[in-house]
Amino acid sequence: MEKENIAVGLDIGTTKIVAMIGKKNEYGKLEILGIGKSKSLGVARGVVNNITQTIQSIQQAIQEAENNSGYKIKDVVVGIAGQHIRSIQHTDYISRNNPEEVIGENDIQLLIDQVNKLAMLPGEEIIHVLPQEFKIDGQSEIKEPIGMYGGRLESSFHVVVGQASSIRNVGRCIQSSGIELSGLTLEPLASADAVLSQEEKEAGVALIDIGGGTTDLAIFKDGIIRHTAVIPFGGNVITDDIKEGCSIIEKQAELLKVKFGSAWPGENKDNEIVSIPGLRGREPKEISLKNLSKIIHARVVEIIDQVFTEVKAYGHEDPRKKLIAGIVLTGGGAQLKHIKQLVEYITGMDTRIGYPNEHLAGNSDEEISSPLYATAVGLVMNSIQNNSQSAVRMDAIEPPKATVYRAPVMQIPEVVMPIIEVEEESKHFGEKQVSTGDKIQRSFFDRYVDKIKDFLDNAE
């Protein structure tokens, strides 16, 4: 039987952890086979701060996804975010020994490797090196240099940098959960893959992913990633403000925000009131919806202002850098009522809510096409690009177990042989993952993930 290309994405968020299993159907769309989600304990503002709790939450999400799909997960592509992420623009070049030969992938790889050796601040590591535009012998604005002649190959790069310890902590949590780490992707890039069309990326667009602990930004222009940022505020600070402002518990504040919350105070009339049951027999509390939306409005304005500062830092006001497709909002925070109108009002840019349904198969569950799951869908798409065999059918792995244990004579060779076969098969999977990366930056990633694995193995 031909092996299926089953992909798994793991979104480790501040409020929830999502494990998603998927594959491409015959129409090239993403078919979700199973999804598991658990409350995220041990993660604050996108960074792991309690290893034990994070491992438990990951295992719970993985278990649920396996039970839903009937597949056993072997490895995952993980999203990385958090306030420690920063991005820099860098230009580098190589002089080629033989200008008479055409430029090949190995030349570009040499250039990328050179950028990977850049000296970073202490404790920082490069996560992504993304080539933007190339220059050959002074000729600029070349998007695809392969096959051209030239002596000096130059390129501008978007380099994403993060805290090495935070990345390794994520790797440790995944290994301790009994699965392997097959790739790391910056979360705003994963969300962008899931909700943006190629036309929007060409025209110029800012993707704002409002999560629980962080708000992620990715800006594209001419089909190229131009700017990324992670802002350490999200939906949780809005909930905290409601909790403090209305003197209620967090659970009630979250429910109020989701059910009655609005980012636009003018929508609610003064006499609209919601009654909240008091704790342990205390009197119920009456909360004005106008006051509630004023609290939400103040905090959302603050988040959007910070994001818009980053958009201006990219140079949005320059006519050549104008973002014609405007803003796309996604993530759980994008479900807040009237947030689209508020963002349009503050920024003066066209805004839409981004749903990850463009790449999903037509028969997908409605829940999966919610902005909540944009990052998870993007991570599964990323895993598919790796051509990884990240999960196997439960029924495909159970029969060999039965034959090992039912061996009539307990001789050593009979017990050892099937185990050796399984090990060889798993080695084969590993080779398949490493050798089939068809994107330029993929091979660096494989080595980077191997480096993390080596570090984790040695740390034990």
Is 178 part of a structural domain of the chain? no
Tokens at 258, concatenated: 């989701």
Is 106 part of a structural domain of the chain? yes
Rounded to two decimals, the pTM is: 0.82
Q: How many domains does the chain have?
A: 1
- Going through 380-438 in order, the beta strands assigned E by DSSP cover 391-393
Is 158 part of a structural domain of the chain? yes
Neighbour-count burial for 201-218, b at 16+ CB within 10 Å, e otherwise: bebbbbbbbbbbbbbbbb
Report pLDDT digits (tens) over 191-205: 999 999 999 999 999
Question: What's the confidence (pLDDT) of residue 415?
Answer: 40
Report pLDDT digits (tens) over 285-310: 899 999 999 999 999 999 999 999 99
Is 93 part of a structural domain of the chain? yes
The C-alpha torsion from 188 through 160 and 105 to 183, rounded to 10°, is: -60
Is 128 part of a structural domain of the chain? yes
Judge contact between 336 and 257, C-beta under 8 A.
yes
Helix (H, G, I), strand (E, B) or coil at 378: helix
Please give the backbone phi and psi of residue 46, each rounded to the nearest 5 degrees, phi first.
Answer: 80, 0
Percent of the chain with pLDDT over 90: 63
Q: Where residue 125 sits, what CATH number does that domain have?
A: 3.30.1490.110
Instruction: Give every CB contact of residue 75 below 8 A, 6+ residues apart in sequence.
Output: 8, 179, 180, 181, 182, 388, 390, 433
Q: How far apart are the first and last CA of the chain?
A: 38
Is 24 part of a structural domain of the chain? no
Is 115 part of a structural domain of the chain? yes
Report pLDDT digits (tens) over 324-371: 999 999 999 999 999 999 999 999 999 999 999 888 887 778 888 899
Is 120 part of a structural domain of the chain? yes
**DSSP structure string for 248-260:** --HHHHHHHHHHH
Judge contact between 157 and 90, C-beta under 8 A.
yes
Q: Which of 103-117, 131-145, 408-422 has the lowest mean pLDDT?
A: 408-422
Mean pLDDT of 90-106: 92
- Residue 44 and residue 240: Cα distance in Å, rounded? 14
Q: Please work out, in degrees rounded to the nearest 5, the angle formed at the alpha carbon of residue 384 by the alpha carbons of 381 and 388.
A: 145
Domain enclosing residue 115, as ranges: 86-165
